[in-house]
Amino acid sequence: MNPVLQKKLSILIHLASVDGDFAKIEKSFILDVCGENGVSNQECEKLIENPDPIGTLGALSYNKAVEYMSECILLMIIDGKIRRSEVLLCEDIGLKLGFQKSSIDNVIEEVKEDLSKSRNKIFALVESLPHPGKV
């Protein structure tokens, strides 16, 4: 597994478990991301048991930052419950990715109003945010 993908999966794992309830649907989401990227369920399960620390994220491209942030928001809403601990971690991840806290909060508030927003709509919302790497 390449380090960039491993970092993204580790972030998603931390986000899924931050509220103390790693829901089955969250695990399924992470396993789907693994499958989409050619990572076996066994390899993914090993990472779930022992994720890498989040660390810094500044070296990622703008496109990767949008991808990471969008997938974090998707994971946060997938169980239909948005907990404060998830929002705080999402904000922290967003800051590390180069997004402004207020921008991330605006997207989260918009998503809270309609938890059924599609993957494409969430990606579009994140892409519309100001970011230093955006050209």
The residue type found at 47 is L
Domain containing residue 86: 3-127
Angle at 14 between CA 21 and CA 129, to 5 degrees: 115
Question: What CATH number does residue 99 fall under?
Answer: 1.10.3680
Tell me, what's the pLDDT at 113? 84
Query: pTM of the full predicted structure?
Result: 0.92
CA end-to-end span of the chain = 29
Contact 127, 99 (CB under 8 A): no
Establish if 135 belongs to a structural domain.
Answer: no
Asked whether residue 27 is domain-assigned, the answer is yes
Query: Is 133 within the bounds of a domain?
Result: no
The confidence band for 121, taking pLDDT boundaries of 50, 70 and 90, is very high
* pLDDT of 135 higher than 80: no
Domain count, the chain: 1
39/112: higher pLDDT: 39
Identify the pLDDT of residue 89: 96
Residue 113 lies in a domain: yes
Is 31 within the bounds of a domain?
Answer: yes
Please indicate, yes or no, if residue 101 is contained in any of the structural domains: yes
- Amino acid (one-letter) located at 72: C
What is the per-residue pLDDT across 1-45, written as a single tens digit (0 to 9) for each? Answer: 888 899 999 999 999 999 888 999 999 999 999 999 999 999 999
Question: Distance between CA atoms of 134 and 122, rounded to whole angstroms?
Answer: 17
**Dihedral angle sign, alpha carbons of residues 124, 88, 80, 105:** negative
pLDDT(92) > 90: yes
Which is it for the CA torsion 106, 18, 134, 132, positive or negative?
A: positive
Q: Is residue 68 part of a domain?
A: yes
pLDDT at residue 21 in the model:
85
Confidence at residue 19, expressed as pLDDT on a 0 to 100 scale: 87
Percent of the chain with pLDDT over 90: 73
* Residue 37 is assigned to a structural domain of this protein: yes
29 Cβ contact partners less than 8 Å away, ≥ 6 residues apart: 12, 16, 74, 75, 78
